C-alpha cells in the first residue's frame, strides 16, 4: 500500500480530534439546555447522543485518510484504443557499453526508448533485445508498464551469445508484426551502433522483407565514428579493465554508418543520426503520421486508487448517523418540499389570507373547510374556533374549539 500525499495521512488525526471536541462541546451544551428545561429531559439528553460524537470523529478520520490518496492492489483492465503496432529493438552487445555517448551507448539508447514508450502510450508495443541472436522480451501488448519494466532490466549479461546479428532481429521483428491480428500501421525502431557481424547481404535481405511487409523501419544510431575501447566496470561503476581480444590487444568499436544507411535504404526507412539531441522526438515525428486502428487488449495496473472506498465508508457512516437522529426529519421535509406539488403546501392557508383582509366570516368558513378536508385539521379547527370567538359567533366557536380540544398535538 502507498499514499499519494503522505503529509495528509500524518495529519489525518487532527480533523478527527477537532470534530470530536466540537461534537462533545455541542452535546454538553445540549444537555445543559435540556436540564434547564427539566431534570427528566436533561437525563434523557445525557443518555442519548454518546455514540454520535465518536461516529462524527470516525467520519472525519476516514475522509482524511481517503484524501491522502491510498493505493493498493492490482487489476487487469480491458483496453480499447486506436493504436499502431510498434516493435522496439535494442542492441545489447558489448560494443554498446562504449562510452562515446553519455553515459554509454546502451544507456542513451534505453533513455530514448523509455521516452518513446511514454509517447506511444496506447499503442501496441513489443520489445526485442539482440546481440548474437534476437530475444523477444515482450510480445505486442497494450501494457506499456511491462515494456518499461523490461527496458529497466536490459544489460549485455542478458544475452547468451556475443557479437551482433542485425539480420536476425530484423527478421524476428517482421515475424512478430506479421502475426499482429489487429491494430493499425506496423513499425519497427532499432537502437544500435551498427556493428553487425553478419554479412551485409543478409542485413539487406531482412530489411527488404520488412519493406515488403509494409513495416515502417527507423534505425536510431548510437556512438561515435572514432574507434574507442570497451570498458568493463563492476556494479558500483568502478573501471576494472577494457575488453581485450584473445591475442591480448584491446577491442575497439565504432559506429558503422555504412551498414545503417544500407539497411535503412533497403527498408526504405529512416535513419536518426547519433548526434541528434532528441532522438525519441525524431522517431515520434515519423510514427505520428502512421495510420492507427482500433485495438483491444488487457493491461495490468498496479496500485489501484482506493480513495473511493474511504469516501463511501465516510458517507455511509454519516448517512446512518443522520437517519437515526431526530434531525433526519428535517432533511426528509426538505426533500419532500422539492417534489412537484409540495411547494403549494407552504402557501398561507385560505383562512389566513381572508383574515388578513379583515373578512372574519369567510375566514371561519375557510378554516372549517380545511379542517373537514383533513388539511391540518387540529390547527384548522383551533383557528376556526378562535376567529369565531373573536367575532362573537359562539356556535361556530364552540364547534371549532371542541374539535381542537381532542387534539394530541402539543
Residue 397 vs residue 180, higher pLDDT: 397
Q: What is the number of domains present in the chain?
A: 3
- Round to whole Å and give the CA distance between 116 and 123: 11
Residues 195, 292 share a domain: yes
Q: How confident is the model at residue 93 (pLDDT cuts 50, 70, 90)?
A: very high
Residues 267, 129 share a domain: yes
* Mean pLDDT across 71-75: 78
What is residue 51's predicted lDDT score, i.e. its pLDDT? 78
Q: Which residues contact 199 (CB under 8 A, 6 or more apart)?
A: none
Residues 148, 65 share a domain: no
Domain assignment present for residue 199? The answer is yes
Residues 216, 100 share a domain: yes
Residues 237, 203 share a domain: yes
Residues 138, 100 share a domain: yes
Residues 95, 45 share a domain: no
| Local structure of 202: helix, strand or coil | helix
Domain assignment present for residue 168? The answer is yes
Residue 301 has pLDDT above 70, yes or no: no
Q: Are 246 and 276 in contact (CB under 8 A)?
A: no
Domain assignment present for residue 401? The answer is yes
Taking CA atoms, 223 is separated from 86, 94, 167, 275, 315, in Å, by: 24, 13, 20, 8, 60
Q: How confident is the model at residue 83 (pLDDT cuts 50, 70, 90)?
A: confident
Residue 203 vs residue 330, higher pLDDT: 203
Residue 346 has pLDDT above 70, yes or no: no
pTM: 0.55
Residue 391 has pLDDT above 80, yes or no: yes
What is residue 317's predicted lDDT score, i.e. its pLDDT? 85
What is residue 92's predicted lDDT score, i.e. its pLDDT? 93
Q: How confident is the model at residue 297 (pLDDT cuts 50, 70, 90)?
A: low
Residues 133, 53 share a domain: no
Residue 79 has pLDDT above 70, yes or no: no
* Mean pLDDT across 75-83: 66
Residue 347 has pLDDT above 80, yes or no: no
What is residue 293's predicted lDDT score, i.e. its pLDDT? 65
Q: Are 262 and 212 in contact (CB under 8 A)?
A: no
Domain assignment present for residue 410? The answer is no
* Mean pLDDT across 222-249: 90
Residues 323, 226 share a domain: no
Residues 235, 168 share a domain: yes
Q: How confident is the model at residue 212 (pLDDT cuts 50, 70, 90)?
A: very high
Domain assignment present for residue 342? The answer is no
- The DSSP output letter for 235 is T
Q: Are 75 and 300 in contact (CB under 8 A)?
A: yes
What is residue 262's predicted lDDT score, i.e. its pLDDT? 96
- Round to whole Å and give the CA distance between 208 and 203: 9
What is residue 332's predicted lDDT score, i.e. its pLDDT? 53
What is residue 387's predicted lDDT score, i.e. its pLDDT? 92
What is residue 242's predicted lDDT score, i.e. its pLDDT? 92
- Round to whole Å and give the CA distance between 126 and 12: 44
**Phi and psi dihedrals of 189, rounded to 5?**
-120, 125
* Mean pLDDT across 46-67: 83
Q: Which of 70-79, 333-342, 375-384 has the lowest mean pLDDT?
A: 333-342
Domain span holding position 385: 348-405
Is residue 103 reached through a cis peptide bond, with omega within 30 degrees of 0 on the bond before it? Answer: yes
Domain assignment present for residue 338? The answer is no
Chain-centre distance of CA 70, in angstroms?
12
Q: How confident is the model at residue 326 (pLDDT cuts 50, 70, 90)?
A: low
Give the CA angle between residues 257, 263, 267 to the nearest 5°: 140
And the C-alpha cell for 146?
511491462
Residues 290, 234 share a domain: yes
Q: Which residues contact 177 (CB under 8 A, 6 or more apart)?
A: 85, 87, 140, 186, 188, 213, 215
Neighbours of 36 (CB within 10 A): 10
Residue 329 has pLDDT above 60, yes or no: no
344-380 exposure pattern, b = at least 16 Cβ within 10 A, e = fewer = eeeeebbbeebbeeeebeebbbbbbebbeeeebbebb
Residue 218 has pLDDT above 80, yes or no: yes
239-259 pLDDT per residue, tens:
899 999 888 889 999 999 999
Q: How confident is the model at residue 171 (pLDDT cuts 50, 70, 90)?
A: very high
Q: Are 21 and 83 in contact (CB under 8 A)?
A: no
Residues 185, 327 share a domain: no
* Mean pLDDT across 128-148: 90
Q: Taking the alpha carbons of 173, 156, 151, 147 in that order, is the dihedral positive or negative?
A: positive
Amino acid at each position: 500500500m502507498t499514499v499519494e500525499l503522505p503529509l495528509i495521512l500524518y495529519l489525518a488525526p487532527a480533523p478527527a480530534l477537532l470534530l470530536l471536541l466540537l461534537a462533545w462541546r455541542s452535546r454538553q451544551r445540549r444537555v445543559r439546555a435540556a436540564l434547564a428545561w427539566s431534570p427528566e429531559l436533561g437525563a434523557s439528553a445525557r443518555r442519548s447522543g454518546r455514540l454520535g460524537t465518536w461516529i462524527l470523529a470516525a467520519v472525519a478520520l476516514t475522509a482524511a485518510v481517503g484524501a491522502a490518496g491510498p493505493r493498493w492492489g492490482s487489476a487487469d483492465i480491458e483496453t480499447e484504443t486506436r493504436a499502431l503496432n510498434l516493435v522496439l529493438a535494442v542492441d545489447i552487445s558489448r560494443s554498446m557499453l562504449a562510452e562515446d555517448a553519455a553515459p554509454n551507448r546502451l544507456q542513451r539508447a534505453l533513455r530514448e526508448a523509455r521516452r518513446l514508450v511514454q509517447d506511444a502510450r496506447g499503442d501496441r508495443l513489443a520489445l526485442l533485445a539482440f546481440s548474437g541472436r534476437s530475444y523477444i522480451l515482450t510480445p505486442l501488448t497494450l501494457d506499456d508498464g511491462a515494456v518499461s519494466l523490461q527496458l529497466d532490466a536490459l544489460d549485455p549479461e542478458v544475452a547468451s551469445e556475443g557479437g551482433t546479428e542485425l539480420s536476425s532481429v530484423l527478421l524476428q521483428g517482421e515475424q512478430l508484426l506479421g502475426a499482429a491480428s489487429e491494430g493499425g500501421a506496423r513499425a519497427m525502431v532499432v537502437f544500435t551502433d551498427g556493428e553487425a557481424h553478419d554479412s551485409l547481404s543478409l542485413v539487406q535481405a531482412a530489411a527488404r522483407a520488412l519493406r515488403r511487409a509494409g513495416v515502417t523501419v527507423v534505425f536510431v544510431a548510437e556512438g561515435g565514428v572514432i574507434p574507442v575501447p570497451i570498458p568493463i566496470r563492476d556494479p558500483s561503476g568502478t573501471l576494472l579493465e577494457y575488453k581485450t581480444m584473445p591475442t591480448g590487444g584491446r577491442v575497439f568499436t565504432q559506429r558503422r554508418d555504412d551498414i545503417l544507411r544500407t539497411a535503412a535504404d533497403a527498408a526504405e526507412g529512416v535513419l536518426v543520426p547519433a548526434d541528434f539531441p532528441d532522438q525519441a522526438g525524431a522517431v515520434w515525428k515519423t510514427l505520428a503520421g502512421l495510420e492507427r486502428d482500433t485495438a483491444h487488449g488487457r493491461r495490468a495496473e498496479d496500485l489501484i486508487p482506493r480513495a473511493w472506498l474511504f469516501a463511501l465508508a465516510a458517507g455511509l457512516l454519516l448517512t446512518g448517523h443522520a437517519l437515526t437522529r431526530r434531525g433526519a426529519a428535517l432533511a426528509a421535509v426538505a426533500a419532500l418540499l422539492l417534489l412537484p406539488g409540495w411547494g403549494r403546501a407552504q402557501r398561507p392557508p385560505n383562512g389566513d389570507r381572508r383574515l388578513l383582509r379583515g373578512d372574519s366570516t369567510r375566514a371561519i368558513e375557510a378554516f372549517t373547510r380545511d379542517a373537514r378536508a383533513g388539511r391540518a385539521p387540529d390547527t384548522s379547527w383551533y383557528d376556526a374556533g378562535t376567529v369565531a370567538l373573536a367575532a362573537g359567533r359562539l356556535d361556530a366557536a364552540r364547534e371549532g374549539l371542541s374539535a381542537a380540544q381532542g387534539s394530541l398535538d402539543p
